[in-house]
Amino acid sequence: MHRIQQRSRFRRKLLAWYKTSQRILPWRQTHDPYAIVVSELMLQQTQVERVIEKYQAWMKRFPTVRSLAGAPRADVIAQWQGLGYNRRALYLHRIAKTIVSDFGCVFPQTVDELVQLPGIGRYTAAAVVSFAYSAHEPIVETNVKRVVGRIFLGYKALLHAPEERLWRVAHELLPRDRRSYHFNQALMDFGALVCTAKRPRCEICPMQSICASYPDILRARPEQLRVKKPVYEKQYFGHPRRIWRGKILAYLHSPNAKHGATESAIGKAIQNDFSAQRLPWLRSVIFTLVSDGFVQYKGKRVVLFKT
């Protein structure tokens, strides 16, 4: 099949599928760039189901970029609790302060300007201009990589495909009319609901006749279905350091640590078998939180950074 014909058929099939199968998500009910930035940072490395409730609570607590910019850092982190990767909350706070102070509360409308903001990369910037401003801009995130890569490159080639090649294919696929907003949303939904990571639902897939992976993908080994190589995280007492960071912050936000806590108290709160021999390790984890601006020392107590 000719490449242009194949891509035209893919657009038609995808948009037809989307009309009847799209997910109803709260951040799709708005074109407010602030709300879309919030949703995109929350969705990084976090499942949609976990994000929905946290997104709604966040928008109730900080409904505008100005309200977020004026909030104490501790309140921002507290509102983020439960999502993990707490650095994203600090990015949001810094973004809000920058938008208020440097842009008069108006978000930039181009990818080049948006990627200058803290915590915003190429995908997030593209998502904002596409979903807030309906710009003709492709997006490439994990679901999109999987769909585009499997259908147009083949699942065996996907693991080794350069990122720039996937962006190029996504750009070539993008409709040249006002449907690009729905097309980008459809790509993500298709990857989440049909062309899934571990068990693609090829039996119901409308792309069988144009997919470079079908039917061989039905016999693929799990490691062949990855979009990217797994990243190993060093373990400390059964968890990577980021998990212990999250546990420390969760404890410091609890009523039991209203006025902060000593290192020993923190250790006993986050580990049932904590001992004094682990204090140097615990202190090294706390220092990373100090460096990132989450906590500070006041005497011998660790307290949340308030400003």
Q: What is the CATH number of the domain that holds 48?
A: 1.10.340.30
Look at residue 108 in the predicted model and tell me its pLDDT: 95
Q: Which residues of the chain have pLDDT under 50?
A: none
The pLDDT tens digits of the residues spanning 144-182 come to: 999 999 999 999 999 889 999 999 999 999 998 778 999
Specify the pLDDT at position 233: 85
Examine residue 12 and state whether it is found in any structural domain, yes or no.
no
Question: Can you tell me whether residue 268 is helix, strand or coil?
Answer: helix
Residue (of 128, 145, 146, 150) closest to 137 by Cα position: 128
Whether 217 and 248 map to the same domain: the answer is no
Residues contacting residue 232 through CB under 8 Å, at least 6 positions apart: none
Q: Supply the pLDDT for residue 38.
A: 98
pTM above 0.75, yes or no: yes
Q: Are residues 67 and 107 in the same domain?
A: yes
Indicate whether 129 and 49 sit together in one domain: yes
Position 20 in a domain: no
Catalytic residue positions?
40
Domain extent at residue 297: 235-304
Q: Any alpha helices (H) in 22-121, and if so which ranges?
A: 33-43, 48-61, 65-69, 73-80, 87-103, 111-114
CA distance 178 to 200: 29
